[in-house]
Structure 1
């Protein structure tokens, strides 16, 4: 996912800045309305029914219905995560493109957070390889919307609804360097695999220079202190090779197991 974020200065420079709130487009003063997740987690300022929790539950339900209905027949899919701030023309952008192409060549759809940077690159690689390119967007401040390489896109209001779609409709994750959003998705996936909420779910960390220090910290701090088991570090695969990343991520295919 990464964060679909650009600076406030750059946002003001855009000719027609817009924000997405689910299926709704907001511009100018309307774009200043608080995010749906803020309304959900903060104390209510408005007692009207449309800002009440029962109404919000219906809105949350509609996101799950929309997501399930749209993605149910997607087929084998791998999600690619990474920074929205990865620049076009960078090595990291080219690697994400290559991963997107290789996944399509292996018979998989490519799903990302739908934003710029790494996400755009993976979607671009999928499209250029003739495959299915999926983007799951989210309402964020100064977001840029779904990138132009997304062929099948859904915009969400709520992070948890969106993350459910990633876990439900992916058969594995490839995680490139990224920020808090990328780390959030990585550790949620690791937790769900560790606790056996999902099984047969390969997780790839791509980029040893970036992820290596984190893996070392896990080994030297978490394992040493006994907060995780040494075997928990086998829940992911670290690599610098796009071919190896795709080969590992596609080790389990549900339609082949039936």
Structure 2
């Protein structure tokens, strides 16, 4: 049992229930010191971070609990129990992107002096595990569609607007739009999904076009997006999720993913993103990274049990048959398998939502 808020923990203590097997994460335990000091049956309780006085920590350990102390030499909260918001990752953007929590975490991930340090490796693993838990909590029982595409699609282009309108259409169908959380087509899809209506999207697109790319400077690119985002409000439930990685720290997270699960491990991040696309995956034109994602999902579909495949929709017939001829290989792999009926190639994004209807809600876990 995982407990991430004081009210739930207090209720458990008031009921006098056993704490064996309970994981308490990121809670200020000093606010319930008396209740915990009165307990001696704490074997199997695990405390992850949060605030704990030395006296209380000593009592917990003496009574059989395992206490992971708060970490003060990391740029991220490794026990964090919720996903990031764009405002959190870009806090301090007025002073420049290099001063934001996102940039500082990337610098920490690239610090050559920390390579091979087992302590740092543990901290990053704890953080990523917390992100995975928070992502699962957010997406539980939600139909999620992944939208993949290149990071090089600039704002103000037809391809950017098309990806944004796709995101808007998918969200309007009640789907959560999940992307790799970066710029380009990923940002566009997150933007569209975050817009409450078509009018809001029509207003946002020309404002964003004033700063087409995160190159050469992230700061103006992020600031205009945060300004646009502020005017969109925060839909509940969330319709737009980003799952980026500090491994690709040169690609900043886009501010239109309303919730951001950012990972240090790119391999874990890629697997989690595809595994949670319970309503299917839509692939816009892209290059090597996008092709890699296509075949990661294809491997899942190829070996999936009957009834557990989800739609894979490629957008852009010329791109996927001539520029990068992925489509013929997909067809060959799908021959005589259930996945063959789940593969689609379209030119018009208007065709995409209908192809996702009735898709599986079972995660494709590899």
Question: Which of 1 and 2 has greater Rg?
Answer: 2
Over 3 Å counting, the alpha-carbon distance change for 1:206 and 1:34 in structure 2 is: farther
CA contact (8 A) 2:302 2:334 kept: no
Gaps in structure 1 of 5+ consecutive residues: 1-13, 40-45
Q: Distance in 1 between matches of 2:173 and 2:316?
A: 21
TM-score, with length taken from structure 2: 0.53
CA contact (8 A) 2:144 2:176 kept: yes
Q: Distance in 1 between matches of 2:334 and 2:257?
A: 39
After superposition, residues 91-170 of structure 1 pair within 5 angstroms as 91-129=158-196, 132-140=239-247, 143-170=250-277
Please state if 1:179 is matched with 2:284: no
Q: CA deviation at 1:162?
A: 0.8
- 2:317 alignment counterpart: 208
Over 3 Å counting, the alpha-carbon distance change for 1:192 and 1:19 in structure 2 is: farther
Q: Distance in 2 between matches of 1:116 and 1:161?
A: 20
- 2:105 alignment counterpart: 25
TM-score, with length taken from structure 1: 0.72
CA contact (8 A) 1:60 1:161 kept: no
Over 3 Å counting, the alpha-carbon distance change for 1:157 and 1:97 in structure 2 is: same
Over 3 Å counting, the alpha-carbon distance change for 1:157 and 1:32 in structure 2 is: closer
Higher relative contact order (CA 8 A, sep 6+): 1
- For residue 272 of structure 2, give the secondary structure of its aligned residue in structure 1: helix
Please state if 1:64 is matched with 2:132: no
CA contact (8 A) 1:80 1:110 kept: yes
CA contact (8 A) 1:19 1:145 kept: no
- The worse-fitting range, judged by mean Cα deviation, of 103-112 and 67-76 is 67-76
Over 3 Å counting, the alpha-carbon distance change for 1:76 and 1:31 in structure 2 is: closer
Please state if 1:238 is matched with 2:340: no
Q: By percentage of residues, which structure has more strand?
A: 1
Q: Distance in 2 between matches of 1:179 and 1:20?
A: 29
1:218 counterpart (322, 329, 338): 329
Pairs aligned (count)? 220
Q: CA deviation at 1:85?
A: 0.3
CA contact (8 A) 2:150 2:186 kept: yes
CA contact (8 A) 1:175 1:206 kept: yes
Please state if 1:50 is matched with 2:125: no
- 1:5 alignment counterpart: none
